[in-house]
C-alpha cells in the first residue's frame, strides 16, 4: 500500500532530474556559442537549424509514404463494400442480396475492416451493424435508420480517404442511389428520424 506514493515520488524526481540535465546542456551550449567568434557561432546555429529542418522534412516524407501505402491497402477493402452495397444491398428487380448472402459477405469483410479501417470507420461500421440487427416494431423506421447509418459509414470512408465532405450530408448521398428520394417523402422521414431520439437498445448479452 505504501509503495505507490514512493513510486510516484521517484517518477517526479526522474522528471525533475531530466529537465535539469536538459536545461544544463542547453546552458552549456549557449555559453559555448557565446564564447565563440560571432561568425562561427552564427554558422553553427544556421547549420543546426538546417539539420533540424532536414530531419523534420524527412519525418514528414516518411509519414506521407506510410499514409500512401495504407491508403493503397484500404481502397480495395472499401471498394468491396461499395460493390456489394450497390450491386446487392440496393439492387432492385429481385437482385437484392438474401440475408444469407449479406451475412456471408459481412463475415468475410469484417476482419479486413478491423485491420485496415480507421477508428472512425470501425465506430460507424459497428453502429450500422447494430442498427440493422436491432429488432424494432416499425419496419419503415428501421429502414430509415439503416439508411442514415450506412450514409454515415460512407461519409467516414470518404474522410478516411482524404475527402473533406464539404456540403455533403445524408441527403446528398441518399439522392445518388435512391430514386425519387425527395418526391417520395423519404427525405422528410429521414429528417424526422435524425432529429428524434434513438430507440432503446436491448440489454447487453452476458
Q: Consecutive 10-residue runs of the chain (206 residues): their mean pLDDT?
A: 56 80 72 65 67 75 78 90 81 68 89 92 92 79 88 94 92 89 90 77 48
41 and 95 both lie in a single domain = no
Q: Answer whether residue 205 is part of any domain.
A: no
Residues 186 and 103 in one domain: yes
In a domain, 129, yes or no: yes
Last residue of a domain, one of 60, 84, 104: 60
Q: Where are the beta strands (DSSP E) in the chain?
A: none
Kindly state whether residue 178 falls inside one of the protein's structural domains.
Answer: yes
**24 and 74 part of one domain:** no
For residue 107, give its domain range. 68-194
Q: What is the pLDDT of residue 2?
A: 45
pLDDT value for 44: 63
- Looking at the structure of the chain, the number of domains it has is 2
In a domain, 143, yes or no: yes
Residues 124/128/129/132 CA torsion (nearest 10 deg): 170
Q: Is residue 206 part of a domain?
A: no
Q: Note whether 196 and 145 are within 8 A (CB).
A: no
Q: Which of 60, 82, 100 is the last residue of a domain?
A: 60
Residue 76 lies in a domain: yes
165, 116 in Cβ contact below 8 A? no
Instruction: Please indicate, yes or no, whether residues 23 and 116 belong to a single structural domain of this protein.
Output: no
Tell me: do 76 and 23 sit in the same domain. Answer: no
> Rounded distance, CA 125 to CA 113, Å?
9
pLDDT for 18:
82
Residue where one domain finishes, among candidates 41, 60, 79: 60
Identify whether 201 is part of a domain. no
Structure confidence at residue 154 (pLDDT): 94
In terms of domains, do 48 and 143 share one? no
Is the pTM value of this prediction over 0.85? Answer: no
* 53 and 134 assigned to the same domain: no
Residues 100 and 172 in one domain: yes
Q: Are residues 30 and 128 in the same domain?
A: no
Domain-embedded: residue 93: yes
Q: How high is the pLDDT of residue 80?
A: 92
Is 185 found in the same domain as 131? yes
Quick: pLDDT tens for 168-198: 999 999 998 888 889 989 899 999 888 877 6
Is residue 15 domain-shared with residue 92, that is, in the same domain?
Answer: no
Answer yes or no: do 7 and 100 share one domain: no
CA atoms within 13 A on the CB side of 83: 8
Cell of 76: 480495395
**CA pair distance 110, 8, nearest whole angstrom:** 42
Amino acid at each position: 500500500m505504501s509503495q505507490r506514493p514512493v513510486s510516484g515520488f521517484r517518477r517526479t524526481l526522474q522528471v525533475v532530474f531530466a529537465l535539469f540535465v536538459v536545461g544544463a546542456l542547453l546552458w552549456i551550449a549557449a555559453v559555448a556559442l557565446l564564447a565563440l567568434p560571432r561568425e562561427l557561432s552564427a554558422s553553427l546555429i544556421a547549420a543546426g537549424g538546417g539539420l533540424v529542418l532536414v530531419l523534420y522534412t524527412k519525418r514528414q516524407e516518411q509519414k506521407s509514404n506510410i499514409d500512401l501505402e495504407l491508403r493503397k491497402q484500404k481502397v480495395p477493402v472499401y471498394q468491396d463494400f461499395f460493390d456489394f452495397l450497390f450491386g446487392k444491398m440496393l439492387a432492385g428487380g429481385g437482385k437484392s442480396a438474401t440475408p444469407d448472402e449479406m451475412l456471408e459477405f459481412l463475415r468475410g469483410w469484417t476482419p479486413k475492416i478491423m485491420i485496415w479501417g480507421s477508428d472512425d470507420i470501425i465506430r460507424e461500421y459497428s453502429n450500422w451493424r447494430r442498427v440493422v440487427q436491432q429488432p424494432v416494431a416499425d419496419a419503415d423506421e428501421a429502414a430509415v435508420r439503416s439508411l442514415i447509418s450506412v450514409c454515415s459509414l460512407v461519409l467516414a470512408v470518404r474522410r478516411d480517404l482524404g475527402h473533406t465532405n464539404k456540403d455533403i450530408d445524408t441527403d446528398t448521398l441518399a439522392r445518388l442511389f435512391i430514386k425519387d428520394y425527395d418526391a417520395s417523402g423519404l427525405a422528410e422521414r429521414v429528417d424526422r428520424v435524425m432529429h428524434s431520439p434513438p430507440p432503446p437498445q436491448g440489454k447487453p448479452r452476458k
